[in-house]
Amino acid sequence: MDITELTVHELQEKLEKKEITISQIIKAYANRIEEKEKDVQAFVTTLCNEAQEEAKQIEEKVAKGEITSKLAGIPIGIKDNICTKGIKTTCSSKMLENFVSPYDATVVEKLKEENLINLGKLNMDEFAMGGSTEYSAFHVTRNPWNLNTVPGGSSGGSAAAVAANLVPWALGSDTGGSIRQPASFCGVVGLKPTYGLVSRYGLVAFASSLDQIGPITKDVEDAAILLNIITGHDEKDTTSEAKEKVDYTKCLKNDVKGLKIGIPKEFFGEGINEEVKKSLQEAIETYKEMGAKVEEFSLDIANYSLATYYIIACAEASSNLGRFDGIRYGYRTQNFSNLKDIYRNSRSEGFGPEVKRRIILGTYVLSSGYYDAYYKKAQQVRTLVRKQFEEAFEKYDILLTPTSPTVAFEIGTKSSNPLEMYLSDICTVSVNIAGLPGISIPCGVDSKGMPIGMQLIGKRFGEEEILNAAYTFEQKIKFRESNKPQFKGGVC
């Protein structure tokens, strides 16, 4: 038995039956990281030694009955924009290369309450800006299915690490698709929760009205388990909703009879790869066979959403990233004679090209003379998008679309053309604009064996519907049983 092949619920079962120990789990992952990390490069910081120490301590406490959490000792990877006390949180940026957070993010506190073990911090596009993890200031992460292709982004390290069995599950963050698109590219499950379901306290802000933390896992049941841990109201995040806790594992019924699924036809139009379309059509047929009521309808918001997304996200980023000034933390230039120089030179030397590009775009759309034409208009489109989704959910329980127009693309093919990179977010951004939950699960592979992702969108706080629909599909097609990453190609 290869421990790293197991899902978290399988690990938990084996721990409960005392078939394996916490130390064995951590050792297995440490060995796997030793073996495969050089090919995948999913981590910014690995904590294998610390994790093995922690495993011993937790085992002792479990033996004494001091810890009762069923998940105690399960390892996890954390995207490197989520603050971890005493451990570097770099956002894959030169700006925060040596930043050690003085506190834990709320989600990290919650992981610690369950005695999960942090295996390391995962690579990402700098400040979560990108869709390929090529914009990391440190290194490019590679897709375990084909090492010459990107893992997607911005949570590319998280998705690649889960796919390559370097961690059993991971946390990512999603502002415009950054959990779902890499999950799709790497053949794993990625869930972006409803805006407000998970506290953003301690998540380094990119676009505050869109950002959400969520799970990236091997299967849907694990996504439900991890969501159970991280949800909950937090007074430190005023946008987090005071809702009663739900046990999301209880909604996994393996039954979609009578479920009303809407297929927005515009999400299957121009620009969507034919093989992706075909795989999605097969998935739709599968849902019909399982008794769901599927209907095509018009939701003409994809292009508006994408334009709106880049206006709003960049505007918010230009403001949020104003805090990086080289004074209290972060990179400081050596080249200055006055305070103004520190600001400008630290920012110019510390930020990478994509971050600067977005700050410039954001500053432009907020500047006098352009505010009405771009930012104000985008906020109105945001209302339109919300309204159109609300109308759709009067008719349907969930919506089904591709997660990404294509499968994982080759490293270097899009990084020089920002607009082309932005266009690959076309299926995911509207979900963030409207603050809805969305899940990506694998639905097949293309002719080259690369995974294809299906996105299910729910109404606000409709996590249970999409989790059950995803689970039912997963049980039917059993993707993981017949498809595994091959680590094809080599490090160039």
Partner 1 sequence: MKVSREEILHIAKLANLNLKEEEIDTYLLHLQDILNFANIVNNAPVEGLGESFGVNENENVFRKDEIKVFEDNEALLANAPEKERNMFKIPKVIQ
**Within 397-416, which residues bind partner 1 (CB under 8 A)?**
none
Could you say which of 130, 172, 196, 442 contacts partner 1 (CB under 8 A)?
196
The neighbour count for residue 94, using CB atoms within 10 Å, is 18
Could you say which of 258, 419, 478, 490 contacts partner 1 (CB under 8 A)?
419
- Give 205's DSSP letter: P
SS3 121: strand
**Within 431-450, which residues bind partner 1 (CB under 8 A)?**
434-435
The span of 156-164, 290-298, 397-405, 417-425 binding partner 1 (CB under 8 A) equals 417-425
The span of 57-65, 121-129, 269-277, 308-316 binding partner 1 (CB under 8 A) equals 308-316
Q: Report the DSSP pairing between strands 398-402 and 451-458.
A: antiparallel
For the chain, helix (H) and strand (E) counts, in that order, are: 16, 11
Could you say which of 56, 253, 387, 448 contacts partner 1 (CB under 8 A)?
387
Cβ atoms of 174 and 93 closer than 8 Å:
no
Output the smallest distance, CB 384 to partner 1, in A.
Answer: 5
Residue 330 in contact with partner 1, rule: CB under 8 A: yes
Nearer to partner 1, 73 or 437 (CB): 437
**Within 61-90, which residues bind partner 1 (CB under 8 A)?**
85-86
Q: How far is CA 327 from the centre of its chain?
A: 31
Output the smallest distance, CB 113 to partner 1, in A.
Answer: 20
Cβ atoms of 427 and 404 closer than 8 Å:
yes
Instruction: Give 120's strand partners.
Output: 46, 77
Nearer to partner 1, 241 or 255 (CB): 241
CA distance 158 to 70: 23
Q: How far is CA 445 from the centre of its chain?
A: 20
> Please, which residues have CB within 8 angstroms of residue 244's CB and are 6 or more apart in sequence?
none
Could you say which of 18, 38, 245, 328 contacts partner 1 (CB under 8 A)?
328
CA distance 213 to 195: 9
Residue 241 in contact with partner 1, rule: CB under 8 A: yes
**Within 95-114, which residues bind partner 1 (CB under 8 A)?**
98-100, 102-103
Output the smallest distance, CB 15 to partner 1, in A.
Answer: 34
Q: Catalytic: 93?
A: no
Nearer to partner 1, 86 or 258 (CB): 86
Q: Which residue's entry shows tokens 């097949």?
A: 444
Exposed, middle or buried by CB within 10 Å (0-12, 13-18, 19+), for 480? middle
Residue 339 in contact with partner 1, rule: CB under 8 A: yes
Nearer to partner 1, 190 or 196 (CB): 196
| Residue 332 CA: distances (Å) to CA of 91, 195, 327, 346 | 16, 34, 7, 5
Q: Catalytic: 376?
A: no
Cβ atoms of 231 and 215 closer than 8 Å:
no
- Give 440's DSSP letter: E
**Binding flags for partner 1, 217-236, as an x/- string (CB under 8 A):** ------------------x-
Output the smallest distance, CB 239 to partner 1, in A.
Answer: 5
Cβ atoms of 114 and 231 closer than 8 Å:
no
Residue 297 in contact with partner 1, rule: CB under 8 A: no
Catalytic residue among 136, 178, 318, 430: 178
Residue 363 in contact with partner 1, rule: CB under 8 A: yes
Beta strands (DSSP E) in 208-253 are 212-217
| Residue 30 CA: distances (Å) to CA of 19, 47, 73, 118, 330 | 19, 9, 14, 12, 30
The span of 37-45, 153-161, 282-290, 329-337 binding partner 1 (CB under 8 A) equals 329-337
Residue 359 in contact with partner 1, rule: CB under 8 A: yes
Residue 471 in contact with partner 1, rule: CB under 8 A: no
How many chain residues touch partner 1 (CB under 8 A)?
Answer: 72
Element (H, E) at 297: strand 293-297
Could you say which of 138, 297, 370, 487 contacts partner 1 (CB under 8 A)?
370
Could you say which of 376, 410, 412, 448 contacts partner 1 (CB under 8 A)?
376
Output the smallest distance, CB 254 to partner 1, in A.
Answer: 31
Output the smallest distance, CB 147 to partner 1, in A.
Answer: 29
The span of 176-184, 248-256, 371-379, 479-487 binding partner 1 (CB under 8 A) equals 371-379
Q: Catalytic: 368?
A: no
Could you say which of 19, 253, 254, 360 contacts partner 1 (CB under 8 A)?
360
Residue 238 in contact with partner 1, rule: CB under 8 A: yes
**Within 132-161, which residues bind partner 1 (CB under 8 A)?**
none
Cβ atoms of 44 and 122 closer than 8 Å:
yes
> Please, which residues have CB within 8 angstroms of residue 380's CB and are 6 or more apart in sequence?
none
CA distance 87 to 56: 20
Catalytic residue among 92, 93, 101, 154: 154
Closest residue by Cα to residue 236 from 203, 195, 193, 194: 203
Instruction: State the catalytic residues.
Output: 79, 154, 178
